Amino acid sequence: MLKDISKKIAGFLPAIFFFSGFIWDALTIGRSVATSDLLIFSGYLFAAGMLLYIMSRPSFILVDETTIPKRLHWFFTTGWPYLALQFLYGSLLSALFILYFKSANHALAFLTSILLGVLLIANEFLENAYRRFTLSWALFGLCAILLFNFLLPFLFGSVHPIWFYLSTILGASLVIYLYSKTPQNLGSILPVWLIAGVLMLAYAADMIPPVPLVTRDVAIAYDVKKEDGNYFIIQQRGPIWQFWRKTSNHLKVVPGQRLYCFSPIFAPAGLEVRLYHRWQLYSKKNGWQTQSRIGFDLNGGRNNGYRGYTYKQNISLGEWRVRIETENEKTIAVQSFTVSEETGTPRHIRYKY
């Protein structure tokens, strides 16, 4: 009976490990990227690279089992190296998915995060496929590129596009170097170049968020005041039937009234960047039209995020959105809202940030 129970439990172990690891990453990886996080992920990448290098050598592929010392027999005959590679890729993809998902706050960036999530789930079924070295090199290249996309902006304190393109080339070059050191060059690294090219095109198309910047809880408010180091904002109270939220993005204004866009931005210490709020009004004839683009400077390192805001005076009625973007127009977040005329008693709510 105990054997039967243990066999049944063993069948669920991969799923248990997968969800446990994912939940652990989600809880321990903060809204801003920490140095310790990047060191751990770099360790995963190094271990995966060394394991792939060992596995792709002829001494591993063509080994004669009868000549293997007993103490190493398990390494060559149990499939353990492929399980270890699967674990390392899964750990990297899980962390990268969470990091990119937290940085994504508009539709195109969410699409990139979803693709990473699909790869993360698919990895649980790819153990035997890792024996095809083309796939192993491709996944290693993807993980290396995406991790370096975080590392270089973090190290140099800048989200300038040069660091994205340079880190993409650096990640692909690492794969080429390791591949060139394997005598038989098992598999192909052509997919790595394709991945690098696709990522560069995706970045140019604004499909990849400007990591490591993260923004959450963007608010459109009637007023923003700073008191004793805290910000207090006044927002539109939501309708009673929307019990799941207290505020609304359907704002009612009187003629000449201001509206504010308040955006906490999370960034690592040492990162300095100028951000912009692009206020846009929608018209059926011309689509989204920019009414103003207002900048403010950000200094990273604050645990609760850098709190920046801009305002729009004499705002028109209609559909609006504010795009939070970098100096080179890479989108961090988009906040949509509608503006209509106030005809009754204002229903406002005050929040502390």
The whole-number pLDDT of residue 213 equals 81
With the CA atoms of 8, 10, 11 and 16 taken in that order, what torsion angle do they form, in degrees rounded to the nearest 10? 120
| pLDDT over 90 percentage in the chain | 21
pLDDT digits (tens, 9 = 90+) for 121-151: 666 565 555 556 788 888 899 999 999 998 8
- 63 vs 189, residue with greater confidence: 189
| pLDDT tier at 254, thresholds 50, 70, 90 | confident
pLDDT digits (tens, 9 = 90+) for 149-177: 988 988 888 888 999 999 999 999 999 89
The structure tokens listed for 277 are 């709020």
| pLDDT over 70 percentage in the chain | 76
For residues 38 and 51, give the distance between their C-alpha atoms in angstroms, rounded to a whole number. 20
pTM recorded for the entire structure: 0.76
- Give the chain's mean pLDDT: 79
> With contact defined as beta carbons under 8 Å apart, do 54 and 81 qualify?
yes
For residues 168 and 189, give the distance between their C-alpha atoms in angstroms, rounded to a whole number. 15
For residues 305 and 163, give the distance between their C-alpha atoms in angstroms, rounded to a whole number. 23
Question: Could you confirm whether domain 214-352 is CATH 2.60.40.1930?
Answer: yes
For residues 185 and 170, give the distance between their C-alpha atoms in angstroms, rounded to a whole number. 20
The whole-number pLDDT of residue 290 equals 94
pLDDT digits (tens, 9 = 90+) for 103-121: 777 777 777 777 777 776 6
- Bridge partners (DSSP) of residue 177 are none
The ranges of the chain annotated as CATH 2.60.40.1930 are 214-352
List of long-range contacts for 189-194, beta carbons under 8 Å, 24+ apart: 189/134, 189/137, 189/138, 189/141, 191/134, 191/137, 191/138, 191/141, 192/137, 192/138, 192/141, 192/142
Which of 6-15, 55-64, 238-247, 304-313 is the least confident region? 6-15
The structure tokens listed for 75 are 């390494």
